[in-house]
Amino acid sequence: MSPSPWTPPPVTVDFTCDDKTYTIAMDAKGAPMFTKVWAAKIDHCEGYGSDDKIARSTPALTTFEAAVDRLLGHEEYDSTLADIYVVCAMVDPNTDYAGTGEMALTDEREMKAALTLCPKHPRASQWKLVLSGRIFEDGTYLVGQQSKPGEYVKPGTYVIQLGPDDGVIDGCYWERTNKSGNIIDNNFILSAKRVQVTIRSGDYSFTSRDCGTWRPL
């Protein structure tokens, strides 16, 4: 009787957050399964950027992890695979981590890396909206001109809507301008629970100050 072929042990990653460790198993294709970690509803993890957050059962990366590693780059201040595990693990039930400033995801590579490592994350659809210029925060943006996420917005109608316990939008200013820098339309909101603006395809830029996070209507 011939011996059974050797089967390598399953790959796992132990993820540690605030002195508690969660074991993340891989599926048959080598993709991390975060379901049990998401059930813990981790909303914050100290030490973002530290490689000691994860401990692997094997040093070899799975196909999914290798794809993430390639997306990140390897410059001095680039994010690491450990960073993306932290991003993928966190699920705050009180926020959607959608705005570019609300998320730990601060550049295009990090967002794409997270969507590769945890494509079923509860907030993945919001991350995609950030990448496509459909969710954005205060700043000055080109309209409809593809560049890096965080530098352009798409034409459309956007709102800032606060809940009953979220206070008021106070001192919010926005403006739409043409290519000559002339103001097409603007508004200054002293106190409101909701602000809405329509950015048109003929606009050149949009500026928002002290408003918050704009989302598509």
Q: If you average pLDDT over every residue of the chain, what do you get?
A: 82
Structure tokens at 204: 């050149």
Predicted confidence at residue 148, as pLDDT, reads 65
Q: 129: closest CA among 210, 213, 42, 35?
A: 213
Greatest alpha-carbon span in the chain: 84
Residues 19 and 124 grouped into a single domain? yes
* β strands within the chain, DSSP E: 12-17, 20-25, 54-56, 139-143, 152-153, 156-161, 172-177, 183-189, 194-199, 205-209, 215-216
Q: Pick from 67, 98, 131: which residue ends a domain?
A: 131
**Do 187 and 157 form a contact (C-beta atoms < 8 A)?**
no
Q: Is 1 part of a structural domain of the chain?
A: no
Q: Is 2 part of a structural domain of the chain?
A: no
Residues 127 and 79 grouped into a single domain? yes
Give the helix/strand (H/E) hosting 94. Answer: none
3-state DSSP assignment of residue 175: strand
Residues 71 and 105 grouped into a single domain? yes
Structure tokens at 78: 């680039």
Predicted confidence at residue 125, as pLDDT, reads 85
pLDDT of 47 strictly over 60: no
Predicted confidence at residue 79, as pLDDT, reads 76
Structural domain of residue 79, as residue ranges? 12-131
Residues 119 and 171 grouped into a single domain? no
Residues 124 and 29 grouped into a single domain? yes
Q: Sorting pLDDT into bands at 50, 70 and 90, what band is 97?
A: very low
Residues 124 and 143 grouped into a single domain? no
In the chain, the number of structural domains is: 2
Predicted confidence at residue 93, as pLDDT, reads 56
Residues 16 and 104 grouped into a single domain? yes
- Please give the C-alpha separations between residue 6 and each of 2, 9, 43, 60, 70, in angstroms, as whole numbers: 12, 9, 40, 18, 30
Q: Pick from 110, 131, 152: which residue ends a domain?
A: 131
What does the pLDDT look like over 202-211, one tens digit per residue?
A: 999 999 999 9
Q: Is 3 part of a structural domain of the chain?
A: no
Residues 18 and 116 grouped into a single domain? yes
**Do 94 and 43 form a contact (C-beta atoms < 8 A)?**
yes
Residues 163 and 144 grouped into a single domain? yes
Residues 113 and 197 grouped into a single domain? no
Residues 79 and 185 grouped into a single domain? no
Q: 97: closest CA among 135, 132, 123?
A: 123
pLDDT of 38 strictly over 80: yes
Predicted confidence at residue 94, as pLDDT, reads 54
45-49, 80-84, 125-129, 145-149: the lowest-pLDDT one? 45-49
Residues 174 and 118 grouped into a single domain? no
Q: Pick from 131, 159, 188: which residue ends a domain?
A: 131
Predicted confidence at residue 43, as pLDDT, reads 75
Q: Sorting pLDDT into bands at 50, 70 and 90, what band is 8?
A: low
